[in-house]
Amino acid sequence: MTFDSQAYAEQLEAKVTRLRDLLAPFDAPEPTVFDSPLQNFRLRAEFRLWREGGDRHYAMFAQDDKRTPILIEEFPIASLRINQLMPQLKAAWQASSALSHKLFQVEFLTTLSGDAMITLCYHRPLDEHWHAAATKLAADLGVSIIGRSKGKREVLGLDYVVEKLEVGGRTFSYRQPEGAFTQPNGTVNQKMLNWAYEALGDRPDDLLELYCGNGNFTLPLATRVRKVLATEISKTSVNAALSNLSENAVDNVTLVRLSAEELTEALNEVRPFRRLQGIDLKSYEFGSVFVDPPRAGMDPDTCELTRRFDNILYISCNPETLAANIAQLHDTHRITKCALFDQFPWTHHMESGVLLTRR
């Protein structure tokens, strides 16, 4: 399968036009555009398995039709490692009833640095026959394998992969756990991190980060400021972020498991939180806030909270909610930098970034 570079260029230009139009009311500068590889860019993939011709096949479904499977032998948008593993895994389950019996879903997670993990999901308990076959498979493929059945999880190897990304001339190591959110397009993620690193610049004060995930942005941005207070609600992501901070010897970050809404209440002194015990919020001299919210964007109260800061660095996976949040902030802040990151080529989705500075 080949990908048409001209068609890609046209799709990317349509995204640029869409972002430009959405931000036009706010006098945004022309966006810097970060493109994607045309294929083999996606580091994770999830397939249902479909029985046909006496065997199971990788399958996906159109969004509007969950009954008609699209059978897949290769997946060109996925990483080379995933495409290498797909036929090897299929051959393994074809040769082993212990691996194939009631197997209904397969998930791959890979990294730019070559690490790989496979999750096998079953409609049955996992027994010693599965364990023996899966242990051999993990060794043969050079991957970690996780078996999932109702209420159970068996880990053969590690339950995370390790990514390495270069930002600002330094290589950062990221633990990416099974089941937790990670940026799917590693090449564009690295471009996004470097843009945010440059946009923030070196600062003598402190940074507040909301929705920090596994520390994807936290690690490089922490090297630009005096200290960071970061929040994240997912336990899995918090644990990964703590490991990543330790692994990279980044020691100026305090991480708190609170939602953005809860932290807003804490900073507004609406109510105290036990998880903030021992943390002196008044000791921070916040000059900037970094936000990377879910598709719904920031809720109005959190958006209002960001108004307090001279600089708002905002990464968005939904340009419509980004524009809505900027509309709320436009009377006190203006867009001084703007970028489009093509995390999701061949779809209408896009990631964008803005730096808002106080007027």
Confirm if 250 and 219 have CB atoms less than 8 A apart. Answer: yes
163 included as an active-site residue: no
* Sign of the CA dihedral with 353 first, then 298, 206, and 167 last: negative
Alpha helices in the chain (DSSP H): 5-23, 80-95, 97-100, 128-141, 186-200, 218-222, 235-247, 260-267, 300-306, 319-329
Q: Which of 294, 286, 292, 263 is nearest to 276 (CA)?
A: 263
Owner of token pair 């990964």: 240
Q: Which of 252, 348, 260, 249 is nearest to 304 (CA)?
A: 260
Beta-carbon contacts of residue 102 (< 8 Å; ≥ 6 apart): 122, 123, 124
16, with CB counted inside 10 A (0-12, 13-18, 19+), is middle
Confirm if 207 and 228 have CB atoms less than 8 A apart. Answer: yes
Q: Which of 69, 127, 124 is nearest to 101 (CA)?
A: 124
121 included as an active-site residue: no
* Sign of the CA dihedral with 130 first, then 135, 140, and 143 last: positive
| Residue from 178, 209, 232, 351 carrying the catalytic annotation | 351
Helix, strand, coil content of the chain in percent (nearest 5)? 35, 30, 35
Residue 343 structure tokens:
């995390």
Q: Partners of 79 in the beta sheet?
A: none
| Residue from 212, 303, 317, 338 carrying the catalytic annotation | 317
Confirm if 79 and 110 have CB atoms less than 8 A apart. Answer: yes
Residue 84: left (phi > 0), alpha (psi -120 to 50), or beta? alpha
Angle at alpha carbon of residue 325, lines to 230 and 24, rounded to 5°: 130
**Catalytic site residues?**
317, 351
